[in-house]
Amino acid sequence: MIDFASAHYLGIAHPSARLGSYAALTTGTPAALGGAPEARRLAAEAAAMQGCEAAMVAPSTLHLAIDVFDRLGRTHALVADETLYPVMRWGLERMRGLGMTPEWFRHGSIRDLAARLQGVTRPPAVISDATRHGGVPVPLARLVALAAGRAGLVVIDHTQVLGLLGAQPTAGAPWGHGGGGLLAYAGLGADQPVLLLASWAKAFGAPLATLCGPAALVHDIARDGPTQSHCSPASQAALLAGLAAVDVNRHEGDARRLRLLERLRQLRAGLLWLARTCLPDLQAGLPLHPVQQLRLGSAARTRELHAGLRAHGLRSALLRQADGGPALALIVRADHDVDDIDALLAAMAAVADRLPTPRRGAAPVPFRDSREGQHHVQDR
């Protein structure tokens, strides 16, 4: 079966034979009592790659969200994008349970954020995903300017861009170079008041997470974070996988990203062809990101397309949308080849005639193709 449901964007795998041996899977002590040497090495590599002063390692982004918001909730007003990813929201919900109510601003709206900040009495911690709807990176420099103007900082869920975005993006290299993520992509330095919280389970295929940012703040969180004191640290296997991913990214990362971009462009061109021919109700934003979300004119047609692809030996995923309806997720990876994409498009064309009839009188939704050279979008 050809897999279009795995989020290992760069196609990096970690078979046990390549990771090397270790004396124990876990240290048996909380991270605050002293991490493994591999954790310190990986933290240093993560900070250097993402252009930050310091970093720490944890088993998951949920661990880090709890620790970050526990620390910032004592000194900052928490102001978050209303569509923040659920794991980060869970960390904020914990703070609400402790008596601190976060403020929410309209998704992607610099104007609404600025208005919300007028009402806060403490330095703000502006919290956002790394991309807006449509896959466009957030304008990090503008978020930093707003927060820093009130002695605050920015917290970014970095998961969806780590390993993809990097330094010096151009029209020919829209993701930039190096895979270090949003700080490098925005051309900002390590002295900026930005915390980057990211899972490595996407692009790098390693089941752990890192927090990168200003050294003093990262060290505070590493020392005093609740999960640092009460939870086990990342396992030795995960740490070795993270170090292996750093090595692959250093030597092969840009080549893998180029292959991924080529496959994305191939898929996007094919989807546009399908929309003009046999799937006229195909709806998609086509962001320049490995996760492509598609919808047809009805929930039944979307579900049947998913089932039809599976019958043709192609694995996709169904995602529940905010309105309760499904979207078909197709995830492109660097280890997909031309034939994989061709097989996917051929299967979609073959399934099209067997789908339920579109609803009569339903207004078609325009098929939208995002511009690759557009790095930011207009404020709302």
CATH number at residue 314: 3.90.1150.10
pLDDT of residue 143: 98
**Percentage with pLDDT > 70 across the chain:** 94
**Nearest to 2, CA basis, from 347, 349, 354:** 347
pLDDT of residue 34: 72
* 207 within a domain of the structure (yes/no): yes
pLDDT of residue 364: 47
Q: Which of 234, 267, 300 is the last residue of a domain?
A: 234
Do 31 and 86 belong to one domain? yes
Element (H, E) at 209: strand 209-213
Cα–Cα distance list, 122 to 107, 196, 258, 260 (Å)? 22, 21, 44, 43
* 224 within a domain of the structure (yes/no): yes
Query: Across residues 61-73, what is the average pLDDT?
Result: 98
Sign, Cα dihedral of 63, 66, 71, 72: positive
Do 342 and 221 belong to one domain? no
Band (377; pLDDT cuts 50, 70, 90):
very low
Distance CA 343, CA 207 (A): 30
Do 59 and 103 belong to one domain? yes
pLDDT of residue 368: 55
Distance CA 325, CA 198 (A): 28
Query: Which residues are paired to 58 by β-bridges?
Result: 209
* 359 within a domain of the structure (yes/no): no
pLDDT of residue 29: 82
* 370 within a domain of the structure (yes/no): no
Q: Are 199 and 159 in contact (CB under 8 A)?
A: yes
Query: Across residues 46-54, what is the average pLDDT?
Result: 98
Distance CA 115, CA 291 (A): 32
Query: Across residues 87-114, what is the average pLDDT?
Result: 95
Q: Are 144 and 194 in contact (CB under 8 A)?
A: yes
Q: How far apart are the first and last CA of the chain?
A: 42
- Scored b (16 or more CB within 10 A) or e, 63-83 reads bbbbbbbbbbbeebbbbbbee
Domain count along the chain: 2
Distance CA 293, CA 235 (A): 33
User: What residues make up the domain containing 127?
Assistant: 26-234
Query: Across residues 54-75, what is the average pLDDT?
Result: 97
Band (375; pLDDT cuts 50, 70, 90):
very low
* 10 within a domain of the structure (yes/no): no
SS3 assignment, position 9: coil
Do 187 and 305 belong to one domain? no
Average pLDDT over the chain, rounded to whole?
92
Do 220 and 280 belong to one domain? no
* 105 within a domain of the structure (yes/no): yes
* 294 within a domain of the structure (yes/no): yes
Do 219 and 262 belong to one domain? no
Q: Are 166 and 176 in contact (CB under 8 A)?
A: yes
With 80 as the cut, is the pLDDT of residue 65 above it?
Answer: yes
Q: Which two three-digit tokens encode residue 349?
A: 């064309």
Do 77 and 201 belong to one domain? yes
With 50 as the cut, is the pLDDT of residue 262 above it?
Answer: yes
With 50 as the cut, is the pLDDT of residue 71 above it?
Answer: yes
Residue 8: CB atoms within 10 A of its CB come to 21
Do 319 and 203 belong to one domain? no
Distance CA 3, CA 176 (A): 27
* 194 within a domain of the structure (yes/no): yes
Q: Which residue has the tokens 């529940």?
A: 320
Element (H, E) at 30: none
pLDDT of residue 371: 45
Query: Across residues 275-302, what is the average pLDDT?
Result: 92
Q: Which of 29-33, 222-226, 281-285 has the lowest mean pLDDT?
A: 29-33
With 90 as the cut, is the pLDDT of residue 144 above it?
Answer: yes
Do 47 and 196 belong to one domain? yes
Do 230 and 258 belong to one domain? no
pLDDT of residue 81: 97
Do 289 and 348 belong to one domain? yes
Do 148 and 32 belong to one domain? yes
